[in-house]
Copies of this chain bind each other. A is one copy, B any other.
Amino acid sequence: MAEIPTAAISRLVTYLRILEQLETQDVSRTSSTDLAERAGVTAFQVRKDLAYFGRFGTRGMGYTVPILKRELVRVLGLNQTWNVVIVGVGRLGQAIANYPGASDYQFQYVGLFDVSPELVGRRVRDLTVQHISDLRDFVRDHRVDMGFLAVPPDRAQDAAQALVNAGVRGILNFAPVVIGPRPPEGRTAEGHSHNAAHALQESGDDWRGVIVENVDFLAGMKRLAFYILNPHLKDSPVPEDTA
């Protein structure tokens, strides 16, 4: 597949969301112009994003909503089951576990993990919260496709490492910190010592092939602050009137 910018994947998710909303409104056909207007991008951008994955429309005819929706579901891998564990079952983790729509598209919460004695053993939804020390055995005995990280910022790196050590290859990080393989303490910004580089290499090996996506509302707050101060740098959410 060609080099595809991450932003294009985010836009595909938005197009899918718009198609779902159109379907609930019994709109059966759409166009790159219509999708662009609703997504706040250009029609050219819509066509370019979709073209990475095939030809979904008929020139001049636009798109059939259920067909394009089905194709985007397939492209995004949402036509298969994804087993998810949540690490961190405080307010945020419970909000995620209980959020309506989170179980759409066969995302299934199969395990909840925390360290807090008040939480371990408690029932959340249909699951009993387990201690993080049981994560490795759980992942060995169950299929786990993703781990959601909903711990406090200062616990995120350790919890992420626990997921990686347990063999979870996909992490959705809700903590407003950068997680990943860590150089050892004492490493300077100028570069690694030989030992540091070696240690990073070892640490990096665990993380090789691990996919991390971030859902960071503090970052969202900061982006919003920037665009409120620099509105000319942002597409207005108001679609151009194409009538």
- Identify the A interface with B (CB < 8 A): 1, 3-7, 9-10, 12-14, 16-18, 21-22, 25, 27-31, 33-34, 38-40, 62, 65, 75-78, 82, 84, 90-92, 94-96, 98-102, 104-105, 107, 145-146, 152-153, 169-172, 174, 176-181, 185, 188-194, 196-197, 200-201, 204, 207-234, 236-239, 241-243
CB distance from A48 to the nearest CB of B (A): 15
Q: Which of B77, B98, B221 contacts A107 (CB 8 A)?
A: B221
Kindly report which residue of chain B lies nearest to residue A150, judged by CB atoms.
B95
List of B residues within 8 angstroms of A190 by Cβ: 29, 31, 34, 62
CB distance from A238 to the nearest CB of B (A): 4
Kindly report which residue of chain B lies nearest to residue A200, judged by CB atoms.
B241
- CB-based contact A237/B17 at 8 Å: no
- CB-based contact A1/B192 at 8 Å: no
- CB-based contact A94/B96 at 8 Å: no
Given contacts A77-B229, A189-B62, contact A208 B222 (CB under 8 A): no
List of B residues within 8 angstroms of A146 by Cβ: 221, 224-225, 228
Q: Which of B40, B153, B192 contacts A242 (CB 8 A)?
A: B192
Given contacts A82-B225, A172-B224, contact A153 B100 (CB under 8 A): yes
- Give the distance in Å from the alpha carbon of A16 to the alpha carbon of B177 in the complex: 10
Number of chain copies forming the complex: 2
Given contacts A13-B219, A100-B153, contact A211 B224 (CB under 8 A): yes
Q: What are some 9 contacts across the A-B interface (CB < 8 A)?
A: A22-B189, A31-B190, A34-B189, A34-B191, A104-B218, A170-B227, A201-B241, A213-B223, A214-B220
- CB-based contact A228/B77 at 8 Å: yes
- Give the distance in Å from the alpha carbon of A40 to the alpha carbon of B177 in the complex: 13
Given contacts A189-B62, A220-B213, contact A181 B228 (CB under 8 A): no
Given contacts A95-B92, A153-B101, A219-B10, contact A178 B17 (CB under 8 A): yes
List of B residues within 8 angstroms of A27 by Cβ: 188-189
- CB-based contact B9/A189 at 8 Å: no
Given contacts A170-B228, A215-B215, A216-B215, contact A29 B189 (CB under 8 A): yes
Given contacts A146-B221, A189-B27, contact A241 B209 (CB under 8 A): no
Given contacts A172-B220, A233-B1, contact A227 B213 (CB under 8 A): yes
